[in-house]
Amino acid sequence: MGSATIEMHGVRRLYEQADLVDLIALDDIDLTIEPGTFVSIIGPSGCGKSTLLRLISGQESADAGRITVCGLTPKEAAEAKAFGFVPQSPALLPWLSVLGNVTLPHKVNRRSDRGRPDLEALLREVGLGESLHKLPAELSGGMKQRTAIVRAFGLRPDVLLLDEPFGALDEFTREALQEQLLELWEQTRATVVFVTHSISEAVRLSDKVVVMAPRPGRITDVIDIDLPRPRHQEIITSPEFHAYELKLRDSLRDAFSHGEVAS
Ligand SMILES: Nc1ncnc2c1ncn2[C@@H]1O[C@H](COP(=O)(O)OP(=O)(O)OP(=O)(O)O)[C@@H](O)[C@H]1O
Ligand SMILES: [Mg+2]
Protein backbone atom coordinates (compact mmCIF):
# COMPACT_ATOMS: atom_id res chain seq x y z
CA MET A 1 0.00 0.00 0.00
CA GLY A 2 2.88 2.39 0.66
CA SER A 3 2.30 5.71 2.41
CA ALA A 4 -1.33 6.15 3.29
CA THR A 5 -3.64 9.11 2.92
CA ILE A 6 -6.45 9.10 5.45
CA GLU A 7 -9.67 10.89 4.45
CA MET A 8 -12.70 11.51 6.61
CA HIS A 9 -15.82 13.23 5.32
CA GLY A 10 -18.89 14.04 7.40
CA VAL A 11 -18.05 11.32 9.91
CA ARG A 12 -20.45 10.81 12.78
CA ARG A 13 -20.37 8.29 15.61
CA LEU A 14 -23.17 7.79 18.10
CA TYR A 15 -23.28 5.71 21.26
CA GLU A 16 -26.58 4.60 22.73
CA GLN A 17 -27.08 5.48 26.38
CA ALA A 18 -29.60 3.73 28.62
CA ASP A 19 -32.64 6.00 29.18
CA LEU A 20 -30.89 8.96 27.57
CA VAL A 21 -30.59 10.40 24.07
CA ASP A 22 -27.72 9.01 21.99
CA LEU A 23 -24.33 10.43 22.81
CA ILE A 24 -22.72 12.12 19.80
CA ALA A 25 -19.11 11.01 20.24
CA LEU A 26 -18.09 12.49 16.87
CA ASP A 27 -20.02 14.86 14.64
CA ASP A 28 -19.33 16.05 11.11
CA ILE A 29 -15.63 15.20 11.09
CA ASP A 30 -13.85 16.34 7.92
CA LEU A 31 -10.14 15.62 7.95
CA THR A 32 -7.49 14.78 5.39
CA ILE A 33 -4.19 13.38 6.62
CA GLU A 34 -1.50 13.49 3.97
CA PRO A 35 0.71 10.42 3.45
CA GLY A 36 3.82 10.27 5.59
CA THR A 37 2.82 13.17 7.82
CA PHE A 38 2.73 13.28 11.61
CA VAL A 39 -0.64 14.51 12.89
CA SER A 40 -1.54 15.00 16.55
CA ILE A 41 -5.03 15.12 18.04
CA ILE A 42 -5.53 17.18 21.20
CA GLY A 43 -8.67 18.12 23.14
CA PRO A 44 -10.52 17.73 26.44
CA SER A 45 -11.32 14.32 27.87
CA GLY A 46 -14.35 12.80 26.14
CA CYS A 47 -14.06 14.80 22.89
CA GLY A 48 -13.72 11.61 20.86
CA LYS A 49 -9.98 11.22 20.27
CA SER A 50 -9.85 7.49 21.00
CA THR A 51 -13.10 6.99 19.09
CA LEU A 52 -11.49 8.66 16.08
CA LEU A 53 -8.55 6.21 16.22
CA ARG A 54 -10.92 3.24 16.53
CA LEU A 55 -12.84 4.40 13.44
CA ILE A 56 -9.69 4.96 11.36
CA SER A 57 -8.39 1.50 12.27
CA GLY A 58 -11.71 -0.22 11.51
CA GLN A 59 -12.26 -1.45 15.07
CA GLU A 60 -15.61 0.42 14.98
CA SER A 61 -17.72 1.74 12.12
CA ALA A 62 -18.97 5.29 11.56
CA ASP A 63 -22.75 5.86 11.76
CA ALA A 64 -22.57 8.39 8.93
CA GLY A 65 -19.95 9.78 6.56
CA ARG A 66 -17.02 8.15 4.84
CA ILE A 67 -13.50 7.14 5.88
CA THR A 68 -10.85 5.90 3.49
CA VAL A 69 -7.28 4.82 4.13
CA CYS A 70 -5.37 4.95 0.86
CA GLY A 71 -8.65 4.49 -0.98
CA LEU A 72 -9.70 1.43 1.06
CA THR A 73 -12.30 1.18 3.78
CA PRO A 74 -10.76 0.98 7.28
CA LYS A 75 -11.70 -2.71 7.52
CA GLU A 76 -10.02 -3.47 4.17
CA ALA A 77 -6.95 -1.51 5.24
CA ALA A 78 -6.87 -3.46 8.51
CA GLU A 79 -7.05 -6.73 6.57
CA ALA A 80 -4.12 -5.52 4.47
CA LYS A 81 -2.23 -5.03 7.77
CA ALA A 82 -1.92 -1.31 7.24
CA PHE A 83 -2.08 -0.36 10.91
CA GLY A 84 0.18 -0.35 13.91
CA PHE A 85 -1.67 0.53 17.12
CA VAL A 86 -0.20 1.58 20.45
CA PRO A 87 -3.04 1.78 22.98
CA GLN A 88 -3.06 3.93 26.10
CA SER A 89 -1.96 1.06 28.34
CA PRO A 90 0.15 -1.28 26.26
CA ALA A 91 -1.02 -4.87 26.38
CA LEU A 92 2.16 -6.94 26.56
CA LEU A 93 1.89 -10.69 26.99
CA PRO A 94 3.15 -11.26 30.55
CA TRP A 95 4.76 -14.63 29.83
CA LEU A 96 6.85 -13.37 26.92
CA SER A 97 10.08 -11.39 27.17
CA VAL A 98 10.55 -7.93 25.64
CA LEU A 99 12.02 -9.56 22.54
CA GLY A 100 9.28 -12.21 22.50
CA ASN A 101 6.55 -9.57 22.63
CA VAL A 102 8.14 -7.52 19.86
CA THR A 103 8.71 -10.45 17.50
CA LEU A 104 5.37 -12.21 18.08
CA PRO A 105 3.19 -10.17 15.67
CA HIS A 106 5.82 -10.65 13.01
CA LYS A 107 5.61 -14.41 13.45
CA VAL A 108 1.81 -14.61 13.36
CA ASN A 109 1.23 -11.85 10.84
CA ARG A 110 4.03 -12.05 8.35
CA ARG A 111 3.79 -9.52 5.54
CA SER A 112 5.52 -10.98 2.55
CA ASP A 113 6.10 -7.62 0.85
CA ARG A 114 8.27 -6.14 3.62
CA GLY A 115 11.61 -7.24 4.88
CA ARG A 116 11.84 -8.10 8.53
CA PRO A 117 13.37 -5.14 10.33
CA ASP A 118 16.13 -5.82 12.84
CA LEU A 119 13.93 -5.73 15.91
CA GLU A 120 16.80 -6.28 18.33
CA ALA A 121 18.58 -3.28 16.86
CA LEU A 122 15.41 -1.20 17.18
CA LEU A 123 15.10 -2.23 20.84
CA ARG A 124 18.74 -1.23 21.40
CA GLU A 125 18.10 2.13 19.72
CA VAL A 126 15.35 2.91 22.22
CA GLY A 127 17.55 1.92 25.16
CA LEU A 128 16.21 -1.58 25.81
CA GLY A 129 19.38 -3.44 24.86
CA GLU A 130 19.92 -4.58 28.46
CA SER A 131 16.30 -5.66 28.85
CA LEU A 132 15.70 -7.89 25.81
CA HIS A 133 15.03 -10.96 27.94
CA LYS A 134 13.13 -9.31 30.78
CA LEU A 135 9.44 -10.01 31.35
CA PRO A 136 6.90 -7.14 31.31
CA ALA A 137 6.51 -7.36 35.11
CA GLU A 138 10.20 -6.45 35.43
CA LEU A 139 9.87 -3.28 33.32
CA SER A 140 9.09 0.33 34.25
CA GLY A 141 6.11 2.08 32.64
CA GLY A 142 8.36 3.85 30.15
CA MET A 143 10.10 0.60 29.20
CA LYS A 144 6.72 -1.00 28.52
CA GLN A 145 5.74 1.94 26.32
CA ARG A 146 8.98 1.66 24.34
CA THR A 147 8.43 -2.08 23.89
CA ALA A 148 4.90 -1.43 22.58
CA ILE A 149 6.16 1.26 20.19
CA VAL A 150 8.91 -0.96 18.76
CA ARG A 151 6.35 -3.78 18.38
CA ALA A 152 4.06 -1.41 16.44
CA PHE A 153 6.91 -0.19 14.22
CA GLY A 154 8.14 -3.75 13.75
CA LEU A 155 5.59 -4.59 11.08
CA ARG A 156 6.38 -1.38 9.20
CA PRO A 157 2.76 -0.27 9.13
CA ASP A 158 1.56 2.31 6.62
CA VAL A 159 -0.37 4.01 9.43
CA LEU A 160 0.73 4.18 13.03
CA LEU A 161 -1.97 5.11 15.57
CA LEU A 162 -0.75 6.06 19.05
CA ASP A 163 -3.21 6.82 21.85
CA GLU A 164 -1.47 8.92 24.53
CA PRO A 165 1.55 6.62 24.52
CA PHE A 166 3.58 8.87 26.83
CA GLY A 167 0.69 9.94 29.09
CA ALA A 168 1.96 8.41 32.30
CA LEU A 169 5.59 9.49 32.02
CA ASP A 170 7.59 12.30 33.57
CA GLU A 171 8.60 15.26 31.41
CA PHE A 172 12.20 14.19 30.77
CA THR A 173 11.43 10.57 29.94
CA ARG A 174 8.69 11.86 27.66
CA GLU A 175 11.10 14.17 25.84
CA ALA A 176 13.63 11.38 25.40
CA LEU A 177 10.95 9.07 24.01
CA GLN A 178 9.70 11.81 21.66
CA GLU A 179 13.21 11.98 20.24
CA GLN A 180 13.29 8.21 19.75
CA LEU A 181 9.83 8.16 18.21
CA LEU A 182 10.82 10.87 15.74
CA GLU A 183 13.96 8.93 14.79
CA LEU A 184 11.95 5.76 14.16
CA TRP A 185 9.42 7.76 12.15
CA GLU A 186 12.13 9.41 10.01
CA GLN A 187 13.31 5.90 9.09
CA THR A 188 9.90 4.52 8.15
CA ARG A 189 7.85 7.59 7.20
CA ALA A 190 4.59 5.96 8.20
CA THR A 191 1.55 8.21 8.43
CA VAL A 192 1.19 8.86 12.17
CA VAL A 193 -1.93 9.85 14.13
CA PHE A 194 -0.90 10.64 17.68
CA VAL A 195 -3.27 11.46 20.56
CA THR A 196 -1.86 13.60 23.36
CA HIS A 197 -2.89 15.97 26.15
CA SER A 198 0.45 17.79 26.05
CA ILE A 199 0.71 21.04 24.11
CA SER A 200 4.50 20.97 23.86
CA GLU A 201 4.47 17.33 22.75
CA ALA A 202 1.96 18.10 19.98
CA VAL A 203 4.08 21.03 18.74
CA ARG A 204 7.35 19.12 18.89
CA LEU A 205 6.16 16.06 17.00
CA SER A 206 3.60 17.24 14.50
CA ASP A 207 3.22 18.59 11.00
CA LYS A 208 -0.38 19.34 11.88
CA VAL A 209 -2.28 19.53 15.18
CA VAL A 210 -6.02 18.84 15.17
CA VAL A 211 -7.87 20.51 18.06
CA MET A 212 -11.14 18.93 19.17
CA ALA A 213 -13.99 19.92 21.52
CA PRO A 214 -16.60 17.72 23.24
CA ARG A 215 -20.41 17.49 23.26
CA PRO A 216 -20.62 16.84 20.42
CA GLY A 217 -17.07 15.64 19.65
CA ARG A 218 -15.85 17.79 16.78
CA ILE A 219 -12.84 19.47 15.20
CA THR A 220 -12.53 23.14 16.15
CA ASP A 221 -9.13 23.99 14.67
CA VAL A 222 -6.25 22.57 12.63
CA ILE A 223 -2.84 24.19 13.17
CA ASP A 224 0.09 23.61 10.81
CA ILE A 225 3.43 23.42 12.63
CA ASP A 226 5.98 24.86 10.27
CA LEU A 227 9.18 24.15 12.23
CA PRO A 228 12.26 22.58 10.62
CA ARG A 229 13.10 18.90 11.18
CA PRO A 230 14.84 17.07 12.71
CA ARG A 231 13.46 18.56 15.91
CA HIS A 232 15.92 17.78 18.63
CA GLN A 233 15.45 18.58 22.30
CA GLU A 234 16.87 22.13 21.96
CA ILE A 235 13.97 23.21 19.76
CA ILE A 236 11.69 23.22 22.82
CA THR A 237 13.32 26.41 24.11
CA SER A 238 13.28 28.36 20.83
CA PRO A 239 11.01 31.43 20.43
CA GLU A 240 9.34 29.94 17.34
CA PHE A 241 8.44 26.82 19.30
CA HIS A 242 7.05 28.92 22.14
CA ALA A 243 4.93 30.95 19.70
CA TYR A 244 3.30 27.72 18.44
CA GLU A 245 2.70 26.59 22.02
CA LEU A 246 0.87 29.85 22.75
CA LYS A 247 -1.18 29.56 19.57
CA LEU A 248 -2.20 26.00 20.39
CA ARG A 249 -2.92 26.94 24.01
CA ASP A 250 -5.35 29.67 22.84
CA SER A 251 -7.08 27.31 20.47
CA LEU A 252 -7.37 24.63 23.14
CA ARG A 253 -8.77 27.10 25.66
CA ASP A 254 -11.55 27.85 23.16
CA ALA A 255 -12.16 24.11 22.74
CA PHE A 256 -12.54 23.68 26.52
CA SER A 257 -15.01 26.58 26.77
CA HIS A 258 -17.01 25.31 23.73
CA GLY A 259 -17.49 22.05 25.57
CA GLU A 260 -18.90 23.74 28.66
CA VAL A 261 -21.25 26.01 26.72
CA ALA A 262 -22.69 23.13 24.74
CA SER A 263 -23.28 20.79 27.69
N1 LIG B 1 -18.01 2.00 23.76
C2 LIG B 1 -18.61 3.11 24.18
N3 LIG B 1 -19.91 3.10 24.57
C4 LIG B 1 -20.53 4.20 24.97
N5 LIG B 1 -19.95 5.43 25.01
C6 LIG B 1 -18.68 5.51 24.64
C7 LIG B 1 -17.93 4.37 24.21
N8 LIG B 1 -16.67 4.77 23.90
C9 LIG B 1 -16.63 6.08 24.13
N10 LIG B 1 -17.83 6.55 24.57
C11 LIG B 1 -18.16 7.94 24.88
O12 LIG B 1 -17.80 8.71 23.75
C13 LIG B 1 -17.19 9.93 24.15
C14 LIG B 1 -15.80 10.01 23.54
O15 LIG B 1 -14.98 9.04 24.15
P16 LIG B 1 -13.43 8.87 23.79
O17 LIG B 1 -12.91 7.72 24.55
O18 LIG B 1 -13.28 8.84 22.31
O19 LIG B 1 -12.83 10.25 24.34
P20 LIG B 1 -11.32 10.76 24.41
O21 LIG B 1 -11.26 12.07 23.72
O22 LIG B 1 -10.41 9.69 23.95
O23 LIG B 1 -11.14 11.02 25.99
P24 LIG B 1 -9.81 10.86 26.93
O25 LIG B 1 -8.97 12.06 26.69
O26 LIG B 1 -10.40 10.84 28.31
O27 LIG B 1 -9.14 9.56 26.57
C28 LIG B 1 -17.21 9.93 25.67
O29 LIG B 1 -18.32 10.69 26.10
C30 LIG B 1 -17.38 8.48 26.04
O31 LIG B 1 -18.10 8.35 27.24
MG1 LIG C 1 -8.94 8.50 24.89
Domain-embedded: residue 239:
yes
Domains in the chain, number: 2
Query: Are 77 and 99 in a shared domain?
Result: no
Judge whether 109 lies within some domain: yes
32-86 residue pLDDT tens:
999 999 999 999 999 999 999 999 999 999 999 999 999 999 999 999 989 999 9
Name residues contacting ligand 1 (CB within 6 A): 15, 23, 25, 45-51, 217
Judge if 72 and 163 occupy the same domain: yes
What average pLDDT does the structure give for the chain?
90
Examine the domain organization and report whether 106 and 66 are in the same domain.
no
Could you tell me which residue, 47 or 257, shows the higher pLDDT?
47
Examine the pLDDT at 13 and tell me if it is beyond 90.
Answer: yes
Q: According to the model, what pLDDT value does residue 189 have?
A: 87
Distance of CA 168 from the midpoint of ligand 1 (Å): 19
Q: Same structural domain for residues 6 and 24?
A: yes
pLDDT recorded at residue 110: 61
Tell me if 176 is assigned to some domain.
no
- Per-residue pLDDT at 253: 94
Position 205 in a domain: yes
pLDDT of 157 over the 50 cut: yes
Of the candidate ranges 14-18, 93-97, 186-190, the one whose mean pLDDT is the lowest: 186-190
pLDDT of residue 164: 93
CATH of the domain at 47: 3.40.50.300
Q: Both 74 and 198 in a single domain?
A: yes
Could you tell me the distance, in angstroms and rounded to a whole number, from the CA of residue 114 to the centre of ligand 2?
Answer: 31
**Domain match, 190 and 246 both:** yes
250 domain-assigned = yes
pLDDT score, position 125: 84
Both 142 and 69 in one domain: the answer is no
Q: Is residue 224 part of a domain?
A: yes
Same domain, 38 and 117: no
Ligand 1 atom nearest to 17, measured from its CA:
4
**pLDDT reading at 112 higher than 60:** no
3-state secondary structure the chain: CCCCCEEEEEEEEEEEECCEEEEEEEEEEEEEECCCCEEEEECCCCCCHHHHHHHHCCCCCCCEEEEEECCECHHHHHHCCCEEEECCCCCCCCCCCHHHHHHHHHHHCCCCCCCCCCHHHHHHHCCCHHHCCCCHHHCCHHHHHHHHHHHHHHCCCCEEEEECCCCCCCHHHHHHHHHHHHHHHHHHCCEEEEECCCHHHHHHHCCEEEEEECCCCEEEEEEECCCCCCCCHHHHHCHHHHHHHHHHHHHHHHHHHHHHHHC
Indicate whether 142 pLDDT > 80.
Answer: yes
Task: Give nearest CA residue, ligand 1 atom 26.
Answer: 45
- CA 50 to centroid of ligand 2, rounded, Å: 4
Are residues 14 and 138 part of one domain?
no
Q: Is there a domain that residue 65 lies in? A: yes
Span from the CA of 129 to the centroid of ligand 1 (angstroms):
37
Pocket test for ligand 1, best of 19, 24, 50 (most atoms within 8 A of CB): 50
Q: Please report whether residue 175 resides in a domain.
A: no
Give the range of the structural domain holding residue 110, as residue numbers without chain letter. Answer: 89-156
Whether 62 and 189 share a structural domain: yes
Instruction: Pick the more confident residue, 125 or 164.
Output: 164
pLDDT of residue 172: 84
Same-domain pairing of 187 and 209: yes
Ligand nearest the Cα of residue 51 is: 1
